[in-house]
């Protein structure tokens, strides 16, 4: 993986006779005398083979990603770490497949995050993350989902999302709104809305499918509410 910025190449392109009909060989730049300045790179030394319990640490030594990161439809065969990263631009995880799970702990998302239809595997952790702009997890699939102490500073969407294991939103803050329309919860789930901004924001659980398991709320005043069916 390479993070590259400010590339300046001075070279003259010339037309050559390509031995193939592929149009991308029609013009080739001769870089033998090129001058390339200001390259910023981070090249990961990923293993060529991964076992079930190996980890893909995509951000070793990286604390900030400035460019948009497009991981749409990517497949990750092992546990992925993207922890303690400041994402300065959009993050696209639409329909990404995390075979064993992913950890975003303590990351800060300054722009929109989209994970429509993503499969986060058996375990996903967003503990202590901050979503400054819109976050969309529509139709996403989670196993054990850990959103403990997360700040949703803008709109967040979990519509039609599926949680097959425990979903924990303890100590999380919903500043704008949270939509869980048609979401499916198949195990015990926890929501602590006591930290929501004043006035309390709207959490939409319309047509929520609880699959006969309890849903716990801790609203203002530290009273516990248990909702068995909705």
**Per-residue pLDDT tens listing for the chain (230 residues):** 444 444 444 443 444 444 445 555 555 566 666 665 554 444 455 454 555 555 565 555 678 999 999 999 999 988 888 889 999 999 999 999 999 899 999 999 999 999 999 999 999 999 999 999 999 999 999 999 999 999 999 999 999 999 999 999 888 888 888 898 899 988 888 876 555 554 456 677 765 666 656 666 555 544 344 444 44
Q: Which residues pair with 29 in a beta bridge?
A: 13
- Residue 20 burial (CB count, 10 A): 8
CA distance 82 to 68: 15
pTM, two decimal places: 0.68
Q: What are 34's two structure tokens? A: 């090129």
Q: How many CA atoms lie within 13 A of 212 on its CB side?
A: 0
Strand partners for 130: 108, 151
Encoded tokens for 68: 């948009």
């Amino acid at each position: 993986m390479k993070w590259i910025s400010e590339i300046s190449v001075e070279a003259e392109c010339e037309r050559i006779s390509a031995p193939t009909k592929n149009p991308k060989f029609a013009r080739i730049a001769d870089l033998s005398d090129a001058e390339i300045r200001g390259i910023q790179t981070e090249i990961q030394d990923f293993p060529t083979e991964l076992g079930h319990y190996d980890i893909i640490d995509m951000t070793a030594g990286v604390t900030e990603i400035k460019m948009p990161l497009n991981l749409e439809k990517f497949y990750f065969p092992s546990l992925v770490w993207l922890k303690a990263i400041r994402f300065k631009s959009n993050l696209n995880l639409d329909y990404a497949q995390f075979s064993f799970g992913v950890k975003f702990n303590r990351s800060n998302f300054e722009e929109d995050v989209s994970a429509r239809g993503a499969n986060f595997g058996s375990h996903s952790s967003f503990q202590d993350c901050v979503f400054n702009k819109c976050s969309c997890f529509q139709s996403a699939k989670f196993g054990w989902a850990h959103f403990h102490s997360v700040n949703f500073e803008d709109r967040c969407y979990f519509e039609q999302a599926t949680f097959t294991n425990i979903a924990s939103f303890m100590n999380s803050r919903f500043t704008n709104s949270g939509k869980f329309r048609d979401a499916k919860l198949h195990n015990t789930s926890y929501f602590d809305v006591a930290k929501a901004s004043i006035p309390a924001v709207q959490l939409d659980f319309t047509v929520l499918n609880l699959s006969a398991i309890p849903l716990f709320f801790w609203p203002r005043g530290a009273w516990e509410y248990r909702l068995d069916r909705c």
